[in-house]
């Protein structure tokens, strides 16, 4: 983004998240555990999640950046924005750090918003199990995930639709390895777009992992930079149509060149004053199957 003059955006330092914002999502015991582990010099939490002395501060700012993004969107200071911070967050559960994630940044930001209708679209190649579980019974947050299946962490079957009052507000759309631009674009355009039109969220947040890129070493999906740009454009058009500001929160992405190129490719779709013109995409069988599953809960959204 710096090579492109930040696309005309203001570049701000992320503040540390307030403890009360973290406690709206995580238990005090979990927050204190991460803090204490880092204070003691760090260490392993699980086979692939390690803390060092600076991890707690970094995780506070990753969550705080997402909160600051929401504040800017809801105050009218910005119509869009990106919280481009690590560590990522969507695997972090209420009481558990895992999958490189310590605090669930997008969940903390969604709770902080204090709105009746927040939608989170997670296109990271791994299922956002933490976000899924935190809002599982919450009808105020509509969570949609596109993720490779089977793959870490092994959650997110299409049959998981939420629970209690939140039944129908969890929309999991697992895809097989090798899935590329056409399927991802259709799932965003037809499924996510249909849900946005039907529910009219007041805020749209994107858990934007770039590990579904064809060059990423941790998965086998085949999305290109152009695919990510088209997905962002679809969401921008859908969000604009219901007057919802849109914020992007960075998640995974482990080929740094692919990550940088993908972010640079999608930024124009966000920064342009007018939403990008429609770029029709054919209804993919995976999206058609997802729409069929939605008929029980979202009949209006299930009409492509």
How far apart are alpha carbons 102 and 89 in whole angstroms?
Answer: 6
Rounded to the nearest angstrom, the gap between the alpha carbon of residue 188 and the centroid of all alpha carbons in its chain is 13
How far apart are alpha carbons 101 and 77 in whole angstroms?
Answer: 29
How far apart are alpha carbons 34 and 42 in whole angstroms?
Answer: 9
Q: Let me know: does 270 contact 10? Beta carbons within 8 Å.
A: no
Tokens standing for 90? 């969507």
3-class SS letters over 116-174: CCEEEEECCCCCCHHHHHHCCCCCCEEEEEEEECCCCCCCCCCCCCCCHHHCCCEEEEE
Sign of the dihedral defined by the CA atoms of residues 13, 102, 104, 230, in that order: positive
Instruction: Confirm whether 147 is a catalytic residue.
Output: no
* Furthest C-alpha separation in the chain: 54
Q: Give the active site residue among 91, 112, 147, 190.
A: 91
Backbone dihedral angles phi then psi of residue 158, each to the nearest 5 degrees? -60, -25
How far apart are alpha carbons 144 and 142 in whole angstroms?
Answer: 7
Distances 127 to 96, 141, 153, 157, 258 between C-alpha atoms, Å: 16, 17, 7, 9, 20
**Which residues carry out catalysis?**
91
């Amino acid at each position: 983004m710096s090579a492109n003059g930040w696309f005309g955006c203001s570049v701000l330092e992320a503040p540390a998240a307030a403890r009360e914002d973290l406690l709206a999502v995580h238990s005090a015991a979990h927050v204190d555990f991460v803090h204490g582990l880092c204070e003691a010099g760090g260490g392993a939490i699980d086979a692939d999640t390690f803390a060092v002395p600076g991890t707690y501060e970094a995780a506070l700012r990753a969550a705080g950046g997402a909160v600051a993004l929401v504040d800017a969107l809801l105050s009218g200071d910005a119509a869009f924005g990106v919280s481009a911070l690590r560590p990522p967050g969507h695997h972090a559960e209420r009481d558990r750090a895992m999958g490189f994630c310590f605090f669930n940044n997008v969940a903390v930001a969604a709770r902080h918003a204090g709105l009746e209708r927040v939608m989170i679209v997670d296109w990271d190649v791994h299922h956002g199990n933490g976000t899924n579980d935190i809002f599982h019974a919450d009808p105020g947050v509509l969570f949609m995930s596109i993720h490779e299946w089977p793959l870490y962490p092994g959650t997110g079957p299409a049959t998981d639709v939420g629970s209690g009052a939140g039944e129908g507000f969890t929309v999991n759309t697992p895809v097989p390895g090798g899935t590329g631009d056409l399927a991802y674009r259709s799932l965003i355009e037809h499924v996510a777009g249909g849900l946005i039109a039907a529910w009219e969220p007041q805020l749209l947040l994107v858990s934007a992992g770039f590990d579904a890129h064809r060059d990423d070493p941790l998965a086998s999906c085949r999305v290109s930079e152009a695919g990510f740009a088209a997905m962002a454009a679809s969401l921008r058009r859908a969000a604009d149509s219901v007057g919802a500001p849109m914020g992007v929160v960075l998640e995974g992405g482990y080929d740094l060149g692919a990550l940088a190129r993908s972010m640079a490719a999608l930024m124009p779709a966000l920064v342009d004053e007018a939403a990008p013109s429609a770029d029709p995409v054919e209804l993919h069988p995976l999206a058609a199957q997802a729409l069929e599953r939605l008929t029980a809960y979202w009949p209006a959204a299930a009409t492509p």
